[in-house]
């Protein structure tokens, strides 16, 4: 496991290389520390499933912007309006996925949960990396939401995570609000950082 801070001029290149080679990156988001793998690397997703014990749960996937989201999901008018108002930010939008998305990412569902995050680290990775990547809270299923690297690492075994991007302790922010936009009237699936 390699640990870096933003003072390291190579942190973004290391994140790119780790994702590109199927590795797992522990990184900060606007809500908590998360775990990223390339959303188009099936082996990496399966490895993430194993360490997080979440084989039957879909992942939230981070994208660069609205145009990027359109590559992976069928973005309707309502979703686009919400994206324009709340992205980048802690709003996750569930949409019907396009055929290119791996079933292992969505746990076999026909929908995908997308977000454009507002943290400087996730924005930099999204702008640099050519594919979307997962963003799941850096804890095993049912574990404690981590707001520091230490809180995350104590929940995993040595060797589970390949790269750690440490920006210190994060504010204890609620998780993202999740909205299902596959229906005519949007449905709140999880109340979070954005008020209903």
Terminal-to-terminal C-alpha distance of the chain: 39
The 10s digit of each residue's pLDDT in 143-161 is 999 999 999 999 999 999 9
**Range 2-190 has CATH code 3.90.1200.10:** no
pLDDT above 90 covers what percent of the chain? 93
* Token couple for 14: 């290391």
Contacts of 81 (CB under 8 A, 6+ apart): none
pLDDT score recorded for residue 141: 87
Give 195 or 134, the one with higher predicted confidence.
134
pLDDT score recorded for residue 190: 94
E-strand ranges in the chain read 2-4, 25-28, 33-36, 60-62, 91-96, 111-115, 133-134, 136-137, 163-165, 177-180, 187-190
DSSP state of 130: S
pLDDT score recorded for residue 9: 97
Please tell me whether residue 89 adopts helix, strand or coil conformation.
coil
- Asked whether residue 30 carries a pLDDT value surpassing 90, the answer given is yes
This model's pTM is above 0.75? yes
Region of 46 on the Ramachandran plot (φ > 0 left; ψ -120 to 50 alpha; else beta): alpha
pLDDT score recorded for residue 196: 74
* Token couple for 82: 């919400």
* pLDDT, mean of residues 163-169: 98
Q: Distance (Å, rounded) from C-alpha 157 to C-alpha 170?
A: 22
pLDDT score recorded for residue 171: 95
The 10s digit of each residue's pLDDT in 1-15 is 999 999 999 999 999
66-71 contact pairs (CB < 8 A, 24+): 66/116, 68/116, 68/126, 68/132, 69/93, 69/95, 69/114, 69/116, 71/98, 71/100
pLDDT score recorded for residue 142: 86
Q: Distance (Å, rounded) from C-alpha 164 to C-alpha 187?
A: 35
pLDDT classification of 195: cutoffs 50, 70, 90: confident
Boundaries of every domain in the chain? 2-190
How many helices (DSSP H) and strands (DSSP E) are in the chain? 7, 11
- Asked whether residue 57 carries a pLDDT value surpassing 80, the answer given is yes
pLDDT above 70 covers what percent of the chain? 100
């Amino acid at each position: 496991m390699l640990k870096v801070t933003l003072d390291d001029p190579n942190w973004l290149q290391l994140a790119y290389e780790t994702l590109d080679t199927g590795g797992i990156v522990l990184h900060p988001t606007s809500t908590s520390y998360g775990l990223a793998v390339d959303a188009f690397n099936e082996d990496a997703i399966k490895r993430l499933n194993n360490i997080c014990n979440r084989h039957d749960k879909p992942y939230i996937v981070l994208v660069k912007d609205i145009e990027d989201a359109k590559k992976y999901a069928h973005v309707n008018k309502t979703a686009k309006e919400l994206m324009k108002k709340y992205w980048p930010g802690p709003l996750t939008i569930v949409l019907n996925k396009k055929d290119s998305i791996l079933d292992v990412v969505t746990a076999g569902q026909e929908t995908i949960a997308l977000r454009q995050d507002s943290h400087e680290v996730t924005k930099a990775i999204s702008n640099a990396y050519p594919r979307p990547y997962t963003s799941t809270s850096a804890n095993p299923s049912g574990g404690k939401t981590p707001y520091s690297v230490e809180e995350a690492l104590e929940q995993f075994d040595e060797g589970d995570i390949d790269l750690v991007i440490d920006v210190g302790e994060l504010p204890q922010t609620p998780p993202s609000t999740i909205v299902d936009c596959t229906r005519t009237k949007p449905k709140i699936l999880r109340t979070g950082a954005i008020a209903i």
